Amino acid sequence: MDITGQEERFRRMFAEEAEGRLATLSELLLALETTTGDPELLAAVFREAHTLKGAAAVVGFADVLQVAHALEEVLEGLRRGDRTATAALVDSLLGAVDGIREMIPAVLEGDDRADHAERLVVSLQTPPPDPAPADPTPPDHASPDPTPPDPTPPDPTPPNSTPVAAAGAGIRGIGETIRLPVERLDELVRLVGEAVAASLRLGRLVTERLGVEPASVPELHELSRVLGDLQQRTLRARMIPFATIAEPLRRATRDLARTLGKTVELELRGQETELDRGVLEQVADPLLHLVRNAIDHGIEPPDERVLLDKPPTGSIMVRALQLGSEVVVTVADDGRGIDLERVRERAREAGDGLEGAGDGDAIYAIFRSGLSTAPEVSEVSGRGVGLDVVRTSLASVRGRVEVRSEPGAGTEFRLSVPITLAVLPCLVVEAAGRRYGIPMHSVVSGEAAGWTGDYVEGQAVIRVRDQVLPVASLAWTLGTGDEAAVNGGPAVVVASLTRRHAFQVDALLGQRDVVLKDLGRLLPRLDLLAGASVEPDGSILLVLDASGLVNQARWIRPGVRGAVESSPAQPASPASTGQPSLLVVDDTAVVRELERSILELAGYQVRTAGDGQEALAMLADAPADLVITDVDMPWCDGFELTRAIRAEPRLAGLPVVILTSKADDADRRRGLEAGADAYVVKGDFDQQALLEIVGRLLGTLTTARAGDRR
Amino acid sequence: MRSVLLLVGRDWFALPMAAFQEVVAAPVVTALPAAPPTVRGLFNVRGQIIPLLDTGVLLGLGPLPGCSFAAVVQSRYGPAGLATTGAPEPAELAWRVGPAHGKGTVAAYAAGERIAVLLDPMVLLAPADVAAES
């Protein structure tokens, strides 16, 4: 390597090392603010700044060196006792740390950041007087502060360093950790997986050729044990502690609370809980949003809290806990709770009516895109995008979010995510001589053989505790078995996003961790398939997708309507059977099934959806001749659905019947204004009336469908 | 041009040697539920899961009755197996004898005693075509 190349390598090494050092500095400075005068802590902060300065000098980063030197000067003053670590001074120091962090990539690219460095030095040398009086009085916003805290907290995903757990805790030595690109680790995991598979193949070969059990050969037994251990450890190497994303919340909390004139204590628990890096990345943003929301919307200002007989300092607890193959992260605050009336009001303004929804359901409207309860948009919140991000980020890693809130007492969000995406715990089943994996997160239960099934409207059903669920043969559903009928064999109950369905199998073979393999990009996306894995005997285990499975089973119901007898694996277009195709949308299963049975008896082909969003997705997949929808449903209600249908040119002519318990004239008008063709109140509901309306609309459909309805 | 000749039904096709990886005899295929007709299933090559494509459907000749061999090809979207009805043979393409009009084909060439249509794997193995229903 030539000299220039070596220099470049050192500069990049410095940049990488500085990332970790600056993260440590931030944490120590935050601790400094609350632990006044701890000499050990002060020494640790000083040491970090000094080392940073020395390294910057070695690689010739003059601008960084200049700021680090000024930082060191201030810290030296603190160490000597000439100054005290006021909030304003810590602001300046943190500002300098952030400034260095921003400067390094630019300097690395050869940019001159002398002006920036100069400003940071001036700011450090002339820190403002601390305007914040003692708790509980909020800080004075009007006070000048040359380095106001950035209301946008720093990136919650810090560098891959081991965070310092507490003030003054052991500072990480350079020799204790190494950095490496994640791809290398992923490659290692893949290769170890291949080695394990190869050793299993070897064992099988030994059995076939020599007639010897591999476990009885000490060398093979040892190889298998070591490889198993190695696989566990390499998988573990991809895991990083929850602290990696939780620790930066301290800074975010401090800065935002200070900006808003609130005092908030953040308590972090379960920091050592480990999660896959990919999962943790997707949790970081939701977590930051929830903490910011708690500070902005939840925690009251100190004077208000005192009046409410609460301690002036608000409390937020973020806790991670491993439960089986999931990690549950809770964010709980002791603030004012979610104002449900306001949620309903905002939903009404957005035309999303929650009037019929109970509190438990209505609260989930806060996750809708664009719905915010903040009175006005600020830099902190109020645009209604935060909680939408929470929901979508979690969904991308097979996670989910729940919320509970009590007026005046606080709010708790509960995020559940899988520990890792690299290994998928699956229930392995056998159907028509083939084995399949079903992801455990979508398995509700396994049912032993011997159950007695019933038929409701031609659909086989199974009783599972207090529920009656449709049941189908798994092999038939997948198109690999000839026998559509079920006969009480073992069954597995799976849950898709909106419904549960049971599948009869030949055997339930047990739970196993499955390492999904990359299938390349050539293969089209198959709704029934979540992935595939190689078995020890070299065969391929297909891992099924629960949602795809449930949808497929519903398409090919044997025995009634236009089931696709000849090709069960191919979803049929409902329109292809010649019968009018109806889509019934209602979030209440019993209403949905009642409507379905009435309409099917009248000869219609019926699909059902649990809410407006699902209905739109189903209409995108296959058309319908008429939609019957409820109004009050989670995520996308009947009015919203009707408007969406009218807005979509391909669907604009589709007749829509609203069938609801909302009898007000105002609601009726809203429904018709949204574009519904008929508005039927459930209280007046009789099946003959419904069939007449459907018949009339479908009758007019044949003559008027080509016309523009709008 | 060095190539590998693939028998697909009664037709011979030539695959450039640069795109060819290996031949798997009598691959054990795991069928995929609800897959398009171009995809016969998945097979395992030393721990790697590879989709096996019905070369007949892909070239518009109709589905192959069976798959005696799979020629593993490297495409820009990952490896794929092309099902063939006979053992692939290495061959040198001598001269161009005429045009070819099928999707993913370049031209017809003389290859020893045979006439083979040269394939362009980049065009033939495009995800949209593999996903096509017919």
> pLDDT digits over A567-577, tens only?
333 333 343 45
The string of DSSP letters for A225-282 reads HHHHHHHHHHHHHTEEETHHHHTHHHHHHHHHHHHHT--EEEEEE-TT-EEEHHHHHH
Range among A176-185, A275-284, A612-621 rated most confident: A275-284
Question: A431 and chain B: CB distance < 8 Å anywhere?
Answer: no
The confidence score (pLDDT) of residue A358 equals 61
The confidence score (pLDDT) of residue A78 equals 83
Whether the pLDDT of residue A204 is over 90: the answer is: no
Classify A536 as helix, strand or coil.
Answer: coil
Whole-angstrom Cα distance, residue A124 to residue A93? 7
Which pTM does this prediction carry? 0.49
For residue B110, the one-letter residue type is A
For chain A, where do the domains classified as CATH 3.30.565.10 start and end? 241-418
Domain extents in chain B: 2-127
Q: How many angstroms away from the CA of B118 is the closest CA of chain A?
A: 21
Q: What phi and psi, each to the nearest 5 degrees, are found at residue A550?
A: -65, -45
Range among A78-92, A380-394, B42-56, B120-134 rated most confident: B42-56
Whether the pLDDT of residue A460 is over 50: the answer is: yes
Whole-angstrom Cα distance, residue A300 to residue A264? 10
Average pLDDT over residues A18-41: 81
Confidence at B12, pLDDT banded by 50, 70, 90: very high
Residue-averaged pLDDT of chain A: 77
Task: With CA atoms as reference, report the closest residue to A389 among A259, A294, A297, A288.
Answer: A288
- Which of A517, A521, A569 has its CB closest to that of B33? A569
In order of A95, A205, A650, A671, the CA distances from A620 in angstroms are: 51, 50, 9, 22
**Among B48, B49, B73, the residue to mutate for chain A (most A Cβ within 10 A):** B49
Question: A542 and chain B: CB distance < 8 Å anywhere?
Answer: yes
**Residue whose entry in the numeric block shows the structure tokens 């004139």:** A261
Least confident of A128-142, A364-378, A402-416: A128-142
Q: Terminal CA-to-CA distance of chain A, rounded, Å?
A: 72
**Residue whose entry in the numeric block shows the structure tokens 């729940």:** A402
Average pLDDT over residues A366-375: 62
Whether the pLDDT of residue A431 is over 90: the answer is: yes
Classify A502 as helix, strand or coil.
Answer: strand
Q: List pLDDT tens digits, range A603-613.
A: 888 998 888 87
- Pick the more confident residue, A242 or A662: A242
Partner B, chain A 572-631, Cβ-Cβ below 8 Å? none
Q: What is the C-alpha radius of gyration for chain B, rounded to an integer number of angstroms? A: 14
Whole-angstrom Cα distance, residue A29 to residue A31? 5
Q: H helices within A350-411, ranges in order?
A: 359-362, 386-395
- Pick the more confident residue, B44 or A419: B44
**CATH placement of domain A241-418:** 3.30.565.10
Within 8 A by CB and 6+ apart from A679, the residues are A657, A658, A660, A668, A671, A672
Half-sphere exposure (CA, 13 Å, Cβ side) for B124?
31
Confidence at A173, pLDDT banded by 50, 70, 90: very low
Q: List pLDDT tens digits, range A625-639.
A: 899 998 887 667 888
Q: Terminal CA-to-CA distance of chain B, rounded, Å?
A: 32
The confidence score (pLDDT) of residue A578 equals 64
- Which of A198, A528, A539 has its CB closest to that of B47? A198
Whole-angstrom Cα distance, residue A644 to residue A656? 11
> Which helix (H) or strand (E) covers residue B15, if one does?
strand B11-16
Structure tokens at A684: 């007046």
Confidence at A179, pLDDT banded by 50, 70, 90: confident
Whole-angstrom Cα distance, residue A323 to residue A418? 10
Task: With CA atoms as reference, report the closest residue to A27 among A212, A202, A161, A195.
Answer: A161
β partners of residue A87: none
Range among A98-112, A162-176, A374-388 rated most confident: A98-112
A519–B42 C-beta distance less than 8 A: yes
Confidence at A424, pLDDT banded by 50, 70, 90: confident
Partner A, chain B 78-107, Cβ-Cβ below 8 Å? 78-80
Question: B59 and chain A: CB distance < 8 Å anywhere?
Answer: no
- Chain B neighbors of A524, CB-CB under 8 A: 35-36, 39, 127, 130-131
Judge whether B83 and B54 are in contact, CB under 8 Å. Answer: yes
Q: What phi and psi, each to the nearest 5 degrees, are found at residue B120?
A: -110, 100
The number of residues making up chain A comes to: 710
A520–B78 C-beta distance less than 8 A: yes
Within 8 A by CB and 6+ apart from A664, the residues are none
Confidence at A498, pLDDT banded by 50, 70, 90: low
The confidence score (pLDDT) of residue A705 equals 31
- Chain A neighbors of B51, CB-CB under 8 A: 519-520, 522-523
Q: What is the C-alpha radius of gyration for chain A, rounded to an integer number of angstroms? A: 31
The confidence score (pLDDT) of residue A574 equals 41
- Which of A538, A540, A570 has its CB closest to that of B34? A570
The confidence score (pLDDT) of residue B115 equals 93
The confidence score (pLDDT) of residue A471 equals 92
Fold (topology level) of A574-704: Rossmann fold (3.40.50)
Confidence at B16, pLDDT banded by 50, 70, 90: very high
Whether the pLDDT of residue B82 is over 90: the answer is: yes
Confidence at A591, pLDDT banded by 50, 70, 90: confident
The confidence score (pLDDT) of residue A709 equals 34
The confidence score (pLDDT) of residue A701 equals 38
The confidence score (pLDDT) of residue A422 equals 63
Strands (E), A260-382: 264-269, 274-276, 314-323, 326-333
The confidence score (pLDDT) of residue A160 equals 38
Its CATH architecture, for the domain A3-132, is: Up-down Bundle (1.20)
Judge whether A242 and A280 are in contact, CB under 8 Å. Answer: yes
Question: A341 and chain B: CB distance < 8 Å anywhere?
Answer: no
Question: A519 and chain B: CB distance < 8 Å anywhere?
Answer: yes
Classify A653 as helix, strand or coil.
Answer: coil
Strands (E), A496-616: 500-504, 507-515, 529-534, 540-544, 581-585, 605-609
Partner B, chain A 281-320, Cβ-Cβ below 8 Å? none
For chain A, where do the domains classified as CATH 2.30.30.40 start and end? 423-555
Q: How many angstroms away from the CA of A475 is the closest CA of chain B?
A: 10
The confidence score (pLDDT) of residue A417 equals 85
Q: How far, rounded to the nearest angstrom, does the alpha carbon of residue A1 sit from its chain's CA centroid?
A: 45
Structure tokens at A708: 């523009």
Question: A567 and chain B: CB distance < 8 Å anywhere?
Answer: no
Residue A356, burial from CB neighbour count under 10 angstroms (0-12, 13-18, 19+) = middle
For residue A537, the one-letter residue type is D
Question: B64 and chain A: CB distance < 8 Å anywhere?
Answer: no
Whole-angstrom Cα distance, residue A352 to residue A345? 10
Fold (topology level) of B2-127: OB fold (Dihydrolipoamide Acetyltransferase, E2P) (2.40.50)
A538–B28 C-beta distance less than 8 A: yes
The string of DSSP letters for A45-65 reads HHHHHHHHHHHHHHHT-HHHH
Confidence at A20, pLDDT banded by 50, 70, 90: confident
Range among A147-156, A189-198, B30-39 rated most confident: B30-39
The confidence score (pLDDT) of residue A257 equals 92
Is the alpha carbon torsion for A459, A463, A469, A474 positive or negative? negative
Q: What phi and psi, each to the nearest 5 degrees, are found at residue A651?
A: -110, -5
Average pLDDT over residues A529-539: 85
Task: With CA atoms as reference, report the closest residue to B50 among A203, A534, A18.
Answer: A534
The confidence score (pLDDT) of residue A5 equals 61
Whole-angstrom Cα distance, residue A526 to residue A515? 19
Q: List pLDDT tens digits, range A96-155.
A: 998 898 888 888 887 877 888 888 888 888 766 655 444 444 434 333 343 444 444 444
Task: For A423-555, give the CATH class.
Answer: mainly beta
- Chain B neighbors of A571, CB-CB under 8 A: 34
Residues of chain A above pLDDT 70, percent: 79
Classify A109 as helix, strand or coil.
Answer: coil
